Chain A
């Protein structure tokens, strides 16, 4: 299939797709479980290359020729996939001595292309005003955070006139700060006694914190009054579990020796951490809604 000047015309299907769609197709094609469809991947890469060259003012035909020079006509490294190498043509009696790209280099090129496309996609979406890096809850194998976004309803503008020092429970302190509605658990596991209670006011947040001790365990609860979430929670590679109760997402993380439940309750960042089993922590957060 050749065009008027001998160059292959643009693939009609791919030419109708947006660049983003082609990039997504490339990602899916690469991640597929079965054999890699190298012809499909080559066409996607060719279309992307063509568009890149068009942006530089090079004609589509010239872009395709450049792409073929750079990527095609070599023996495929995917010997066990269905891709059929293109027929080679020779310009003289001597076989054309083409530089044979090593398979590992070709794989590196594909990987590099994928990296560029992923980063470009994320940056493009970010530029469009969608904060992909600042999702409400985000985590890696190391840390978990709500930070990066302002949460509607969150505020550190707390009326402090009524604050006294005579409260010793979370509920008393929260009421003193004018916060009504249940945020803290009403149930503490049997055998725990309060060990610490502290209200600390920083420049950008007020922290209300309490801890409990049993014979062989420890637990703590923190409510952070701030206009933005800010804590970085330690986290392992274990799957983060999400429980939704009455519209609030509770994220259960695993730290090395403790479990942590973190959530945004009534606009405030809250967390419980303990060496107790997860079902105990879940029972605690359920008690918030009883």
Chain B
């Protein structure tokens, strides 16, 4: 019987590991967020714009994104490295206050060299009880 339980546990854990790979969420549900989305766009001058929107479960004192990393693909290793980061200190409009929804489009101040890029967006919400963050990775764009 113990052996059958062991088999069941191994198979169950294996299936969990398979389907877990399809999830991009960083935590289970949220007291702060209802939904979020982001997309990346390349511009004709080889700058990159990121479009984002986030809705909260209620009006939040602080709502938006805390950072957006523009990551470049290293085609030889398959890894992504950060080339540029939007933060609240260098970019306005990432966050709003006393609202339940925020959306905006931010554009890099400099152009990018040829390569494949994606955006790694960290959504952020904060109220008097605490805060929460969720991460989202966009599809990629190619700058030639």
Which single member of B6, B22, B30, B101 contacts A222 (CB below 8 Å)? B101
A101-119: contact bitstring with B at CB < 8 Å (1 yes, 0 no)? 0011001101110110011
In the bound complex, do residue A203 and residue B57 qualify as a contact, i.e. CB atoms below 8 Å apart?
no
Q: In the complex, which residues of chain A have a beta carbon less than 8 angstroms from the beta carbon of B105?
A: 202-203
Looking at the assembled complex, report how far the CB atom of A213 sits from the nearest CB atom of chain B, in whole angstroms: 8
Q: Say what secondary structure dominates the interface of chain A.
A: mixed
In the bound complex, do residue B18 and residue A119 qualify as a contact, i.e. CB atoms below 8 Å apart?
yes
In the bound complex, do residue A202 and residue B103 qualify as a contact, i.e. CB atoms below 8 Å apart?
yes
| A49 contacts the other chain (CB 8 A) | no
In the bound complex, do residue B28 and residue A141 qualify as a contact, i.e. CB atoms below 8 Å apart?
yes
Q: In the complex, which residues of chain B have a beta carbon less than 8 angstroms from the beta carbon of A107?
A: 3, 6-7, 10-11
| B25 contacts the other chain (CB 8 A) | yes
Given A114-B11, A142-B27, A234-B35: A195 in contact with B103 (beta carbons within 8 A): no
Q: In the complex, which residues of chain B have a beta carbon less than 8 angstroms from the beta carbon of A275?
A: 57-58
A198 to B101, CA, bound (A): 9
A233 to B10, CA, bound (A): 31
Looking at the assembled complex, report how far the CB atom of B48 sits from the nearest CB atom of chain A, in whole angstroms: 11
| A128 contacts the other chain (CB 8 A) | no
Which single member of A77, A119, A236, A271 contacts B28 (CB below 8 Å)? A236
Which single member of B22, B36, B51 contacts A133 (CB below 8 Å)? B22
Stretch in contact with the other chain, from A66-74, A182-190, A253-261: A253-261
A119 to B18, CA, bound (A): 8
Looking at the assembled complex, report how far the CB atom of B61 sits from the nearest CB atom of chain A, in whole angstroms: 15
A258 to B33, CA, bound (A): 10
| B114 contacts the other chain (CB 8 A) | no
B10-37: contact bitstring with A at CB < 8 Å (1 yes, 0 no)? 1100110111001111011111011111
Given A209-B55, A218-B58: A255 in contact with B30 (beta carbons within 8 A): yes
**Interface residue tally for chain A (C-beta within 8 Å):** 55
A209 to B103, CA, bound (A): 11
| A80 contacts the other chain (CB 8 A) | yes
Given A211-B100, A256-B29, A273-B55: A111 in contact with B11 (beta carbons within 8 A): yes
| A24 contacts the other chain (CB 8 A) | no
In the bound complex, do residue A80 and residue B39 qualify as a contact, i.e. CB atoms below 8 Å apart?
no
| B99 contacts the other chain (CB 8 A) | yes
Q: In the complex, which residues of chain B have a beta carbon less than 8 angstroms from the beta carbon of A20?
A: none
| Chain A minimum-CB-distance residue to B30 | A234
Q: In the complex, which residues of chain A have a beta carbon less than 8 angstroms from the beta carbon of B58?
A: 218, 275
Looking at the assembled complex, report how far the CB atom of B10 sits from the nearest CB atom of chain A, in whole angstroms: 5
In the bound complex, do residue B29 and residue A234 qualify as a contact, i.e. CB atoms below 8 Å apart?
yes
Q: In the complex, which residues of chain B have a beta carbon less than 8 angstroms from the beta carbon of A271?
A: 34-35
| A59 contacts the other chain (CB 8 A) | no
Looking at the assembled complex, report how far the CB atom of A129 sits from the nearest CB atom of chain B, in whole angstroms: 19
In the bound complex, do residue B41 and residue A203 qualify as a contact, i.e. CB atoms below 8 Å apart?
yes
Which single member of A30, A195, A198, A230 contacts B11 (CB below 8 Å)? A30
Q: A207-B53, A234-B134, A273-B34 are in contact. List 14 more A-B contacts (CB 8 A).
A: A107-B6, A111-B14, A143-B24, A147-B37, A195-B59, A196-B100, A196-B101, A202-B51, A209-B55, A220-B55, A230-B37, A232-B36, A271-B35, A273-B35
A-B pairs, 8 with minimum CB distance: A142-B25, A202-B51, A230-B37, A107-B7, A231-B35, A111-B14, A256-B29, A143-B25
